[in-house]
Structure 1
């Protein structure tokens, strides 16, 4: 070895092994393709070792590269962990906090919660990540997560804030046109709004003795926000968070219980980040706001 390679060369090497091409690796790292190519050449020169086979379809990692990739990937994870530790050690009420939550929570609940938080901590910038798929807190894809399930990783700090009922609902304009169902069996004669690929609603209806057919769901989507907007527009009967229904003008909760499982609300962060003053401040403020949202009755 002529000299110890700079970490930027190893980072480029790792991206090329993962993606198998300079172009895809360059997109991930935000570098130009020629720069990435020079990084690979410089690493091979520093190691005095060939790492890739140049093919028409891209760069193919050879046996030596594959042996090197595992410790390099472990080093990347360790550096991400070090960044978490460094961030946790910061004691300032300034900087940025990144929050991830479901699309419904992010769009319809979080904005109201953030208003008093921004007033209390104006120097802390907030980044939000609306996502219905879990973000990996351990690799710093988010600092704080609002989850509708209990996280299980030991490295996380979690706090259950309460449960949100899911109810059948419709807009008053739809009920004015089609009438209000008085019992679950009446749903069969109404326009229903539900999931596209998921059978969760059909399976639950079957479990409580209410047989519904897919064809009765005349509007179907797997987007939670789209489901809510379709119901809110008066296109049919859907299923949504009780507190969101009660706080939305024109929305009506139907007066029967479908025994839909409650939606648990968990607040989560990495245990090392919990020592950061700004992240702890936002975490505690979010917990306070969500508990208030769950437990405060609507008028």
Structure 2
């Protein structure tokens, strides 16, 4: 739809935009200092004036329709233009505030994100970050998170995804594990070694075999669904573990275990909702994480963007 030639009440447009950014009428009403019925009437009046449906209700959330996504971008551009005029006159900066929930594995959250979050605190002090530790993309579809860092390409049509790069991973061992052997290991040693399991041991065996190791689930004597705990067991010499080079490099007590095994690579995806991607605070966090994750794994920085 061509919004350029359509006129509408700015108060209604602002009510719509804040509702789109906050995700619910109650949160938008609080942000604008209005009652929820008043805000609801303004949004309904805008829909009636334009003759389109801007929101669909899913559970307790309001989801932007395609028309709503388009209008949000148009209204935001209008608001930004007005804001720039105001800033030029007042010399004040625009505040970006609100909650953004980021979903990541516990290992990523504990070892890779802290530096990025420290920088983000200075860049956008009004943004509150909540970390949701999970390995599932369902947390995005159920609105448990606004942004997810994942190692698999999403296939849901409502998700927007950006592949940042492919990151290397190897099989690591604690120095204390290798010391009694007096040498690094070779592929031939693998079938006699113990490995630390994570959440899915059958899947782990598949990854280990991708390294060219002849192992089975019988090689996994100890496992834990917590990545942090499983990695701690490996660091303390209880078995071998696959780990991203970026995380292992932070742990001087571990080294690559095999002298004749090359690293494998896994993708790093940053994922959000297409409609949520129009929110300033979510866009700020999304772009900051993308920059930080590219910095965390220096090397091939080729990126690709897609709408899954």
Q: What's the TM-score bracket when you normalise by the shorter of the two chains?
A: 0.5 to 0.7
Mapped partners of 2:141, 2:198: distance in 1: 31
Among candidates 168, 171, 176, match of residue 173 of structure 1: 176
1:98-136 deviations in whole A, cap 9, x for unaligned?
Answer: 111122212221122211111211111101100112234
State the SS of the aligned residue for 1:201.
helix
**Residue 138 of structure 2: aligned partner:** 135
**Residue 31 of structure 1: aligned partner:** none
Q: Which moved more, 1:83-92 or 1:113-122?
A: 83-92
**Residue 268 of structure 1: aligned partner:** 271
1:124-167 deviations in whole A, cap 9, x for unaligned?
Answer: 11011001122343443211111111112232221111112221
Mapped partners of 2:265, 2:193: distance in 1: 24
**Residue 112 of structure 1: aligned partner:** 115
User: How many angstroms does 1:208 deviate by?
Assistant: 6.4
**Residue 152 of structure 1: aligned partner:** 155
Mapped partners of 1:205, 1:124: distance in 2: 40
Mapped partners of 1:189, 1:138: distance in 2: 42
1:248 lines up with 2:264 in the alignment: no
Larger radius of gyration: 1
TM-score, length basis structure 2: 0.63
CA 1:232–1:209 in 2, change beyond 3 Å: closer, same or farther? Answer: closer
Decide whether the 8 Å contact of 2:186 with 2:261 is kept in 1. Answer: no
State the SS of the aligned residue for 1:126.
strand
**Residue 221 of structure 2: aligned partner:** 218
State the SS of the aligned residue for 1:295.
coil
Mapped partners of 1:209, 1:140: distance in 2: 39
TM-score, length basis structure 1: 0.65
Mapped partners of 1:273, 1:133: distance in 2: 19
Decide whether the 8 Å contact of 2:149 with 2:269 is kept in 1. Answer: yes
Mapped partners of 2:234, 2:298: distance in 1: 24
Mapped partners of 1:295, 1:183: distance in 2: 28
Give the superposed CA RMSD: 3.1
CA 1:105–1:205 in 2, change beyond 3 Å: closer, same or farther? Answer: closer
State the SS of the aligned residue for 1:280.
helix
CA 1:189–1:250 in 2, change beyond 3 Å: closer, same or farther? Answer: same
1:97 lines up with 2:100 in the alignment: yes
User: How many angstroms does 1:177 deviate by?
Assistant: 3.2
Structure 1 unaligned blocks of 5 or more: 1-73
1:126 lines up with 2:108 in the alignment: no
CA 1:258–1:223 in 2, change beyond 3 Å: closer, same or farther? Answer: farther
Q: How many residues align?
A: 224
State the SS of the aligned residue for 1:248.
coil
**Residue 62 of structure 2: aligned partner:** 80
User: How many angstroms does 1:203 deviate by?
Assistant: 3.6
